[in-house]
Amino acid sequence: YPATEWKYPLPEAGVRDGFPKYDPEAPAKSFVAICESLIQECTKDLPTTHELPSMEQKWIVDMLEYNVKGGKMNRGLMVVESGAIILRSQGKEPTEDDLKKLAVLGWCIEWLQAWLLVADDFMDSSQTRRGQPCWYKKDGVEEIAINDAFMIEMLVYRVLKRHFWTEPYYLDLLDLFMETTFQTECGQLLDLQCKNIGLQDFTYTRWELIVKYKTAFYSFYLPVALGMTVAGIKDQEAYDAAREPLLLMGVYFQAQDDYLDAFAPPETLGKIGTDIQDKKCGWLFVQAYHDLCSSEQKAFLDEHYGKCKVQTEEEQKIKDIYKAVGLEEKYQNYETKSFNDILAFKSKVTQANLPWEMIEIFLKKVYKRAK
């Protein structure tokens, strides 16, 4: 292994002994404490192992603090919860270290999400995220945000290596993270290419393809697949059975994201929506433009969609059109339908010997969310 010479204690035994416990009674709080340990662990030796001066070491610590925390942590907590549910369904009560392991993997998704968002905010010209300025908008950061995004990505692999390289499923974890990242990048490309195509090609089918790839794999399939991997599941059919409803949930989740982009108060959402100015192929637009708008309303969209700036009169008028054509009610019906469509997978999932609860608790977390 040419690159695996650890210059500090070998990770095999007791690597998480000094980590705080994951406490199911205080999930969010104990989960955040584990993140603190990870930040410390993956930065403390850099001056020795990578000759990194203390200014750059501090940069990485501060950059991580700024970008990996402050989210809802749905994805990260789901790894722990689904992993624990699966282990129990196999008659194994998760040990303290099992829970810590799952929490470390949970943070790997949260860190993956962090670098995706740092990059996405730059690509979407966004202003705010999680109630604070986007990282690239900070004085002295700007283009360094690109390298920071890459750096968080590689820190995920360093965390995986330290905590899992002696596990029999280490390669599976690497494969999952790499493939999921590639899927997400395909989705992001489909999303970004919308600037180069005409509005008539913004169809519901294209929307579904974009969101399945840019959101559903990393946000919904990955957390549960990680839980399954730690629980030792090897059966391909089980992964296939879990993937189907989880991808549906991811598509539904991005419909919510698109709806909230236009209609949620930025104070609640923590970000100012940019989909109209960015000419996004969003859930609201595809239906308004193709099915619901009068020719006059359509002409207004042709003239201003993707051309007006955020928080202008034209942008507001587009939101008014969305309301006037009945999209609020359509959205509510869509939420109910998605919920039922996902529930319909119950027998398929249980037939694959998986506990339905691992899907259901995730669904409950996102159903009718307001942020």
Q: Which residues of this chain interact with Mg ion, rule CB under 5 A?
A: 120, 124, 257, 261
What does each C-alpha distance from 350 to 215, 343, 353, 354, 366 come to in angstroms? Answer: 25, 12, 5, 5, 21
Query: Within 10 Å of residue 150's Cβ, how many Cβ atoms?
Result: 13
Which 78-117 residues touch ligand GPP, going by CB under 6 A?
116-117
Taking CB under 6 A as the rule, does residue 215 contact ligand GPP? Answer: yes
Do 194 and 279 meet the contact criterion of CB atoms below 8 Å apart? Answer: yes
**Nearest residue to the partner Mg ion, using Cβ:** 124
Taking CB under 6 A as the rule, does residue 264 contact ligand GPP? Answer: no
Taking CB under 6 A as the rule, does residue 314 contact ligand GPP? Answer: no
Judged by beta carbon distances under 5 to 8 A according to partner kind, the member of ligand GPP, Mg ion, none in contact with residue 119 is ligand GPP
269 CB contacts (<8 Å, ≥6 apart)? 260, 261, 371
Nearer to ligand GPP, 43 or 287 (CB): 287
Among 43, 67, 183, 188, contact with ligand GPP (rule: CB under 6 A): 188
25 CB contacts (<8 Å, ≥6 apart)? none
The region, left, alpha or beta by phi > 0 then psi within -120 to 50, assigned to residue 14 is: left
Nearer to ligand GPP, 298 or 319 (CB): 319
What's the alpha-carbon Rg for the chain, to the nearest Å? 22
Taking CB under 6 A as the rule, does residue 185 contact ligand GPP? Answer: yes
Taking CB under 6 A as the rule, does residue 212 contact ligand GPP? Answer: no
What does each C-alpha distance from 17 to 21, 65, 73, 98, 110 come to in angstroms? Answer: 9, 23, 23, 12, 22
Min dist CB 254 to ligand GPP, Å, is 7
Taking CB under 6 A as the rule, does residue 148 contact ligand GPP? Answer: no
What does each C-alpha distance from 107 to 7, 110, 303, 306 come to in angstroms? Answer: 24, 5, 43, 35
Taking CB under 6 A as the rule, does residue 68 contact ligand GPP? Answer: no
Nearer to ligand GPP, 310 or 324 (CB): 310
Min dist CB 203 to ligand GPP, Å, is 18
Judged by beta carbon distances under 5 to 8 A according to partner kind, the member of ligand GPP, Mg ion, none in contact with residue 358 is none
Judged by beta carbon distances under 5 to 8 A according to partner kind, the member of Mg ion, ligand GPP, none in contact with residue 162 is none
Count of residues that bind ligand GPP according to CB under 6 A: 13
Q: CA-CA distance, 94 to 82, in Å (whole number)? A: 11
Instruction: Compute the half-sphere exposure of residue 274: CA atoms within 13 Å on the CB side of its CA.
Output: 14
Nearer to Mg ion, 81 or 191 (CB): 191
Hey, is 132 helix, strand or coil? strand
Judged by beta carbon distances under 5 to 8 A according to partner kind, the member of ligand GPP, Mg ion, none in contact with residue 116 is ligand GPP
Q: Residue 158 class from Cβ within 10 Å (0-12 exposed, 13-18 middle, 19+ buried)?
A: exposed
Min dist CB 274 to Mg ion, Å, is 7
Among 81, 98, 124, 148, contact with ligand GPP (rule: CB under 6 A): 124
Min dist CB 332 to ligand GPP, Å, is 21
Nearer to Mg ion, 82 or 184 (CB): 184
Min dist CB 225 to ligand GPP, Å, is 18
CA angle 132, 137, 139 (to 5 degrees): 105
> Taking Cα atoms as reference points, which of 289, 325, 290, 287 lies closest to residue 304?
289
Taking CB under 6 A as the rule, does residue 233 contact ligand GPP? Answer: no
Q: CA-CA distance, 215 to 206, in Å (whole number)? A: 14
145 CB contacts (<8 Å, ≥6 apart)? 118, 119, 122, 135, 136
75 CB contacts (<8 Å, ≥6 apart)? 106, 109, 110, 113, 218, 219, 222, 223
Min dist CB 340 to Mg ion, Å, is 25
Which 35-64 residues touch ligand GPP, going by CB under 6 A?
none
Nearer to ligand GPP, 145 or 241 (CB): 145
Q: Give contact residues for ligand GPP (rule: CB under 6 A).
A: 116-117, 119-120, 124, 126, 184-185, 188, 214-215, 257, 261
